Amino acid sequence: MATYPPRSGAPIPFKVIEEQEDHPSQPRLEDYDDFISTLPFEKGSVPSRKYQGFWYPEGFLPGAMAIQQRFKARPDDLFLVSFPKSGTTWLKALVFATMTRKQYPLARHPLLSLNPHDCVAYIEERFAIGQASKVEALPSPRILSTHMPYSLLQDSVAGSGCRIIYIARDPKDALVSFWHFTQKSSPKLNKIPFTEAFEAFCEGKFPFGPIWDHLLGWWRESLKRPEKVLFLKYEGLLEEPVANVKRLAEFVGCPFSEEEEEGGMVEEIVRLCSMESMKSLEVNKVRKHGPIYQFANSSFFRKGVKGDWRNHMSPEMARRLDVIIEEKLQGSGLTGWSSQA
Ligand SMILES: Nc1ncnc2c1ncn2[C@@H]1O[C@H](COP(=O)(O)OS(=O)(=O)O)[C@@H](OP(=O)(O)O)[C@H]1O
């Protein structure tokens, strides 16, 4: 796997560090298990514990706690943050391709042989399996990803000056996508009927939920510090991928030159990271990702459309969820996902 040697000035795939023996995984320093076993429990599709107001999957919770305890962001870190199934994989690919475009020609890009999750480390997972040292060994600038709500991550990023991109999606589609994911991605997840997942989601007793608190924490931070926290919507990326890739390139400090734009570089990145292209790659058909749940790489790529909730929810169910979301987000200025629109 040493086919992608570090290139100065740009992020490198996390996989490079993961496979280096001079940064061995450490056993977990703290054992959080006793404490975790005392927290409220929901079996659901992914057994989760309620921790600091959020339902965290048991597999990732020790990682989130270890991050809170000992992780400090660097000023040049970039975090990609999301509620799961909101476009994380796509955002990882787009940002990684954008930031490494000068180091890795697109025709021989690491994304052609690595899943986006192998390029951008999911920090709760890495800390949970004792790979904090590998996250530390990743040279700057690092791109890291997390599903942590703002309130849980804030101390680790406070005052660092790091940048954050949050991607949000219509909660109805995020729920449908999550449910499909749990049906086939990993034998370690529980298969539950959609109606059960829907009820749990509406009650907020859902992995990483309540979704409204997840959205609000990061939305408010993006309003407070727009130069450091960029809030994107999955639907916006679908509608205007080129404009949004230019926007995120500017945000991360590597805007496209006129020459690049005229030469079609932005469109090439969009094409490389498209659902069609990603799905067709061998690495995304055959391999598994993730040391804890061992997700099939293929399970990160399904339909990639807006409004698939219509195939799973009655208009009444959609309205009920809309009302909950609208009430919770009321007054925040975050809108745009009504089923009536
Ligand atoms: N390249 C690309 N373009 C558009 N859409 C894409 C792309 N890659 C993944 N997807 C869709 O994103 C959904 C998976 O969400 P996440 O990537 O956030 O999942 S995860 O949190 O990382 O597990 C899931 O949405 P659904 O299709 O609705 O299930 C994926 O299909």
Of 211, 169, 157, 185, nearest to 85 by C-alpha is 169
Residue 9 lies in a domain: no
Size of the chain in residues: 341
**Cβ neighbours around 216 below 10 Å, total:** 18
pLDDT exceeds cutoff 90 at 289 = no
Instruction: Give the alpha-carbon dihedral of 15, 291, 138, 95, to 10 degrees.
Output: 70
DSSP one-letter string for 12-56: --HHHHHT-TTSPPPPPSS--HHHHTTS-EE-SSS-EEEETTEEE
Distance of CA 159 to the CA centre of its chain: 22
Cα angle value 219/221/222 (rounded, 5°):
65
pLDDT in tens, 234-271: 999 999 999 999 999 999 999 999 999 999 999 999 99
Closest Cα to atom 19 of ligand 1:
85
Question: What residues contact 154, with CB distance under 8 A and at least 6 apart?
Answer: none
Strand partners, 146: 81
Residue 310: strand, helix, or coil = helix
- Substitution site in 85, 166, 181, 244 for ligand 1 pocket (most atoms within 8 Å of beta carbon): 85
Distance of CA 45 to the CA centre of its chain: 19
Range of the domain at 315: 14-329
The ligand 1 site (C-beta within 6 Å) comprises 82, 84-90, 173, 177, 180, 273-275, 278, 300-304, 308
Say if residue 291 is preceded by a cis peptide, omega within 30 of 0.
no
Question: How many Å lie between the centroid of ligand 1 and the Cα of residue 254?
Answer: 25
**How many separate domains does the chain show?**
1
Q: In terms of DSSP bridges, do strands 41-42 and 121-122 run parallel, antiparallel, or are they unpaired?
A: unpaired
pLDDT range class, residue 186, cuts 50, 70, 90: confident
Residue 7 lies in a domain: no
Q: In ligand 1, which atom is closest to the CA atom of 274?
A: 1
Residue 19 lies in a domain: yes
Question: pTM, whole model, 2 decimals?
Answer: 0.96
**Cβ neighbours around 279 below 10 Å, total:** 14
pLDDT range class, residue 7, cuts 50, 70, 90: low
Strand partners, 81: 146, 166
- Please give the structure tokens belonging to residue 265: 């570089």
The amino acid that residue 246 corresponds to is K
- Please give the structure tokens belonging to residue 313: 């929810």
Q: In ligand 1, which atom is closest to the CA atom of 83?
A: 21
Higher pLDDT, 12 or 340: 12
Q: In ligand 1, which atom is closest to the CA atom of 295?
A: 23
Query: How close are the terminal C-alpha atoms of the chain, in Å?
Result: 48
pLDDT exceeds cutoff 90 at 24 = no
Question: How many Å lie between the centroid of ligand 1 and the Cα of residue 174?
Answer: 9
Residue 2 lies in a domain: no
Question: How many Å lie between the centroid of ligand 1 and the Cα of residue 99?
Answer: 20
pLDDT in tens, 101-146: 999 989 999 999 999 999 999 999 999 999 999 999 999 999 999 9
Strand partners, 79: 144, 164
ipTM over 0.90: yes
Residue 175 lies in a domain: yes
The catalytic residues are 147
Q: In ligand 1, which atom is closest to the CA atom of 177?
A: 29
- Please give the structure tokens belonging to residue 203: 């009650």
Question: How many Å lie between the centroid of ligand 1 and the Cα of residue 85?
Answer: 6
Question: How many Å lie between the centroid of ligand 1 and the Cα of residue 178?
Answer: 10
Residue 68 lies in a domain: yes
Closest Cα to atom 25 of ligand 1:
304
Give the C-alpha separation, 226 to 239, whole Å. 22
| CATH code for position 302 | 3.40.50.300
Q: How many CA atoms lie within 13 A of 257 on its CB side?
A: 5
Give the C-alpha separation, 216 to 198, whole Å. 20
Closest Cα to atom 8 of ligand 1:
90
Residue 126 lies in a domain: yes
DSSP one-letter string for 252-274: TT-PPPHHHHHTTHHHHHHHHTS
Residue 341 lies in a domain: no
Closest Cα to atom 14 of ligand 1:
85
pLDDT range class, residue 317, cuts 50, 70, 90: very high
